[in-house]
Structure 1
Amino acid sequence: MKQPRAANEVYRLPPPIFDARCKACWFTVGLLMLVVASFWSLDLQWAQFFSAEAAASMGRFVGEFFPPDTSPAFLHKVAVAAWETLAMSAVGTLLAAIAGLALALPAARLHAGDAARTRAPTRLLLNALRSVPELVWAALLLISAGLGPLAGTLALALHTSGVLGRLFAEAVENAPPGPAEALRAQGVGHGRVFLYATLPQVLPQLMSYTLYRWENNIRAAAVLGVVGAGGLGQLLAFHMGLFHMPKTATVLGAMLLLVAIVDAASLGARRWMTR
């Protein structure tokens, strides 16, 4: 039952949308001005983009994709390439999770009294790993690893190690300190404190980060083949370069199906872990 308001209760008005003393408000205004200036400085041909001629050209281009090539021989080739893309993303994510966890420990301040001398250089390394896109890593690794899925797998592993290492380090630093302090007060070493106190608390979060990055790596692995790293991307670049549009449509359909399956499986796994 709803309780009556007290006679002396003070009614407060909601805060104003903009306050001159609010730093976040000024930051939002500056960001909006930057966006408006960006649109104004770019030569965006909106009228040409939405013209009837552009729509007709796009319609003719899309029409060339139909019907897709569904011959058994080509479908088998696409299935093999899809499996290769899936394997590249899975192995690359697994290697990145292992490397990210190994780099997260020196990149994190484990307790209040930790000097964390390796924190700054390790975070600099993580920034360098993730600042280079997967396509650039793959292009560089093609020189040493050659054409094929090895270069793509290593490219995914290097870039994702930088991403997961930073996320893992933040999760370790934000873990509740109580259990770790209790073990540390009993004279337990740093390694056992991490294994028995910190890791069990952050493990669901680490797994969720890893699964989410696997979803992203599926998409990235499907594109890495454009530079010769194998998988569906290599088929896509080959047939699109030769204007084999029905075959290109089949490859694009396989990409969409693979991404949808992995997204659904990853989402189900994350929900199961958070129950």
Structure 2
Amino acid sequence: MNRPDRLPPPLFSARCRACWLVAGVFALIVASFLSLDLHLAALASGEALASMGRFLAEFAPPELGADFLAKTAAAAWETLAMSALGTLLAAAAGLLLALPAARLHAGDAARARGPARLLLNALRSVPELVWAALLIIGAGLGPFAGTLALALHTSGVLGRLFAEALENAPPGPAAALRTQGAGAARVLLYATLPQVVPQLLSYTLYRWENNIRAATVLGVVGAGGLGQMLLFHLSLFQMHKTATVLLAMGVLVVLVDGASQALRRWLTR
């Protein structure tokens, strides 16, 4: 029986592993601030703030001509299509790679687990910009290279997440089917996948949101869409048109985020 006057535990204990972990992370953060050449005082100075204010003022008002708005809408659709198709291809490839990268039950030898996870690590360790720059050499400028770049990088991300979801699926239904003599394919289709499909879809929708932002950045290296328009008008110091492109990016991100949240709510009903 606990005593009512018992004192709370100390904030730090030499035997507490979590305490040492938190202390190590805090020390790493402090060392990061000390090692980086941060000019916080200069950033907050009146001269710096005035310069940033003058730069932002050059964006107003945005270009709202009908011809330019039509070009911006076409580029926004191109960016949306790149992100959607790239995410769809990545979800399919990620699932195919997640199956050999996951140990589905305790008795699973999973001989291909190491090589499959090494491939997933390689795919996601290369940034989308590097994939796009490489693919543009072979496929040329345009959204095709950007779509493939998104698909390759996202395949590595989704494949790892899908593999973790498959490994963490409740083992009961799969074990029951295996005791009845069901094969590995039937166990996967009728026991494991139905339990993790909502989680896989949630991961895919989240990565689609991220790929909208990534697709706009890929346009900077010539992969088409809003990013290519942004680079073109910004390099010519056409700030009013640049403001319109930035607004289109914001609207596109908000619409995709809203659609993704609505799909998540529908899936969890």
Deviations 1:182-205 (A, max 9, x none): 111111111111001111100000
Distance 1:51 1:250 in 2: 29
2:106 pairs, out of 105, 112, 126, with 112
Could you tell me how far 1:172 is from its partner in structure 2? 0.5
| Residue equivalent to 1:211 | 205
The 5 Å alignment of 1:24-103 reads 24-103=18-97
Equivalent position amino acid for 2:109 in 1: A
Counterpart residue number, 2:173: 179
Q: What is the aligned partner in structure 2 of residue 202 from structure 1?
A: 196
Partner of 1:260: 254
Tell me how far apart the structure 1 counterparts of residues 192 and 130 of structure 2 sit (CA, whole Å).
35
* Aligned residue pairs, count: 268
Paired residue type of 2:179: A
**Matching of residue 238 in structure 1 with residue 239 in structure 2:** no
Q: Tell me, in whole angstroms, the C-alpha distance in 2 between the residues paired with 1:244 and 1:145.
A: 30
Tell me how far apart the structure 1 counterparts of residues 18 and 2 of structure 2 sit (CA, whole Å): 30
C-alpha distance in 1, partners of 2:138/2:41? 47
CA distance in 2, matches of 1:24, 1:189: 43
Q: Which residue of 1 aligns with 2:218?
A: 224
What aligned pairs does 1:124-135 form with structure 2 within 5 A after superposition?
124-135=118-129
Q: Given residue 58 of structure 1, which amino acid in structure 2 is its aligned partner?
A: M
SS in structure 2 opposite 1:106?
helix
Distance in 2, matches of 1:10 and 1:46, equals: 50
- Among 267, 270, 273, the alignment partner of 2:267 is 273
What residue is the counterpart of 2:163 in the other structure? 169
Q: What is the deviation of 1:17?
A: 2.1
- How far residue 102 of structure 1 moved from its aligned partner, in angstroms, is 0.3
How far has the Cα of 1:10 moved from its partner?
A: 4.1
Q: Give CA-to-partner distance per residue, 1:238-258, whole Å, 9 cap, x none.
A: 000110000000000000000
Shift of 1:273: 1.1
The unaligned stretches of length 5 or more in structure 2 are none
TM-score of the two chains, using structure 1 as the length reference: 0.95
Provide the rounded CA distance (Å) in 1 between the counterparts of 2:129 and 2:136.
11
Residue of structure 2 in register with 1:3 after alignment: none
User: Per-residue deviation at 1:14?
Assistant: 3.9
- In 2, the alpha carbon distance for the partners of 1:17 and 1:133 equals 41
CA distance in 2: counterparts of 1:114 and 1:178, whole angstroms: 15
| 3-state SS of paired residue (1:175) | coil
| TM-superposition CA deviations, 1:6-63 (whole Å, max 9, x none) | xx65446543321111112111111111111111122211121111111111111111
Amino acid at match of 2:238: H
- Residue 18, structure 1, aligned to residue 12, structure 2: yes
Gaps of 5+ in 1: 1-7
Instruction: Write the distance in 2 (CA, Å) between the matches of 1:98 and 1:13.
Output: 55
Taking every aligned residue pair, what percent have the same amino acid on both sides? 75
* Other-structure match for 1:5: none
Distance 1:132 1:15 in 2: 46
Cα RMSD of the aligned pairs, angstroms, is: 1.1
Question: Letter of the aligned partner of 2:12 in structure 1?
Answer: F
Moved more, 76-85 or 128-137: 128-137
